[in-house]
Amino acid sequence: MGKNTSFWMTGVFLVCGTLLFHASAVSQVYAVSDSAIGLINKGNFRKAVDYLGSEIMKQEDEPAALLRLLGQAHYNLLEYDDAIDAYRRAARSSDCDTCSRDLELAGVIAMEAKQFGTAKECLGAALSRGSETAGLRIASVFYLEGEAYIQKLDYASATDAYQAGLKYREDTLLYERLLFCYYKRDMDETVLRLCDTLRGKHPDFSSPRKFTGLINLAGGSKAIAKERYEEAAGLYRKALGDLPECAPAYYGLGICYEKLKDTAHAIEHYTRAVELGIVEPGTYCDFAKLYIAGGKFPDAEKVLRKGLRRIPGYALLWEIMGGLYEKMGKKERSETCSRMSGFLGSTAHGRYRTRPALSELKEILEDSSPAGSYSIWGWTIVRDPRDATPDPPDSLNTDSLPRPLQQVPPEYPELARIGGIKGTVWVKMLVDREGKAKKCIVTSSEAEIFNQPSLEAAIRWVFKPAELNGKPVECWVHIPFRYALN
């Protein structure tokens, strides 16, 4: 055999040896992968982490497949930093065939961990390597970053975040939040310009109409404060063009027409505000005063009754109702209203500090709810007002506490939604032996507008009752109702 033949045979053996070594390494990676997948599928995430870490150290190059499994195991253990590191190492691995996907997964995990800087870095790298979805995810990171700033009331930083997100994806949700930030920063001209632009680009997008309406609504209130009633009326009419069911705009128009001596139109707009269920107690007060001034006592009584059914804890409504009954010659009812007004803190009736009997109040409000229904008094709600059973003490030693079986979420008041109002209401609930909410009391509230929907939801909750010595007993629980705009 010649020298050339010997040389070529040596080369062949070297190549074959390399291929056999590579095949063996690949086979070993597959075997390790199968074992790790088995551990992960059984929920043995810690064992999978230890096993994969040990096997990866034995490899000359870090196999991307094993690093991805390591990242998955760390993620299931909520070890986000280690999971992110594993996926980033997989993206750097020499055998990585899905680098952009690994970087995108690292970015998504960083997003979940609220590590926004890391998320943007990983997703930006994925985008530069050809990912088709990383841009959308980067926009999502900026959205979440903006929401975090809003929670801190840092609207300027939130504005920057939403604007940055829009560079990666034009999305109406980002525009809605950007409008919200401009609105909260009193940048009315900027809001109106952006709203005009968005109306042309997205005709079905409702937020431009909402924020234009809110600015005109606020402008109407400012004009009223300066006693410029014609100007205010024009702004309220513009607000209704964008927010046709906006009860505060109808209320504002009612005030304007009343000040302009146009009683007929004032009553028309107050009526509409009441029909829309406005929670602003001043509406019912002003509306009733108009009727009283015109001698229309039965109409005034209907308006006040409607207001008291909706906002029973407002002292001035009871005070006006008491004055109305005095004019109507109904002394007993006038006295009852005055007592309730004093109980709620009215200085005009400060001598009263004891609430009237529920039966007296129900008679005034023409509340004919039977036993088993419920009524609201002040910021307390009771399922059966005729139940005279004494309440248990606030602290009662039980073997088990009530456990919710049916939770009814409260409705988010539309005015609070439009105005961007959020907050938490704590409700103290008395759970009876059948697991029903027997009585609910607002003990703490960050925004009074949420009190009534919280009580109306709470009274419908159903529990597994507390137990003492194996028997169900009545027990108090404290439940927070949180209102946040998403």
CATH class of 375-483: alpha beta
In this predicted structure, what is the pLDDT of residue 198?
94
pLDDT at 3 over 50: no
pLDDT at 312 over 80: no
How many Å apart are CA 319 and CA 341, to the nearest integer?
6
How many Å apart are CA 300 and CA 294, to the nearest integer?
10
In this predicted structure, what is the pLDDT of residue 18?
35
Mean pLDDT value across residues 102-124: 90
Mean pLDDT value across residues 88-102: 76
**Least confident among 107-111, 312-316, 414-418:** 414-418
pLDDT at 445 over 60: yes
How many Å apart are CA 380 and CA 382, to the nearest integer?
7
Reported as a pLDDT band with limits 50, 70 and 90, residue 65 is confident
pLDDT in tens, 347-376: 666 676 677 776 787 788 775 544 444 455
In this predicted structure, what is the pLDDT of residue 66?
86
**Least confident among 9-23, 271-285, 291-305, 355-369:** 9-23
pTM of the predicted protein model: 0.60
**Following DSSP, what letter does each residue of 148-195 receive, concatenated?**
HHHHTT-HHHHHHHHHHHHHH---HHHHHHHHHHHHHTT-HHHHHHHH
Which helix (H) or strand (E) segment holds residue 246: the answer is none
- Report residue 212 as tokens: 């234009």
In this predicted structure, what is the pLDDT of residue 193?
95
pLDDT in tens, 26-64: 567 778 888 888 888 888 899 988 988 888 888 777 888
In this predicted structure, what is the pLDDT of residue 372?
45
Question: Which of these, 269, 263, 267, lies nearest to 239 by C-alpha position?
Answer: 269
Question: Which of these, 88, 47, 87, lies nearest to 55 by C-alpha position?
Answer: 47
Q: Work out the angle at residue 237's Cα, subtended by the Cα atoms of residues 232 and 241, and round it to the nearest 5 degrees.
A: 145
Under 8 Å between Cβ of 212 and 193: no
pLDDT in tens, 216-255: 988 998 898 899 999 999 999 999 999 998 888 998 999 9
As a whole-number percent, the residues of the chain with pLDDT over 90 amount to 34
Reported as a pLDDT band with limits 50, 70 and 90, residue 382 is low
Under 8 Å between Cβ of 246 and 217: yes
pLDDT at 17 over 60: no
pLDDT in tens, 162-213: 999 999 998 888 999 999 999 989 899 999 999 999 999 999 898 999 999 9
In this predicted structure, what is the pLDDT of residue 160?
96
In this predicted structure, what is the pLDDT of residue 420?
67
Under 8 Å between Cβ of 236 and 215: no
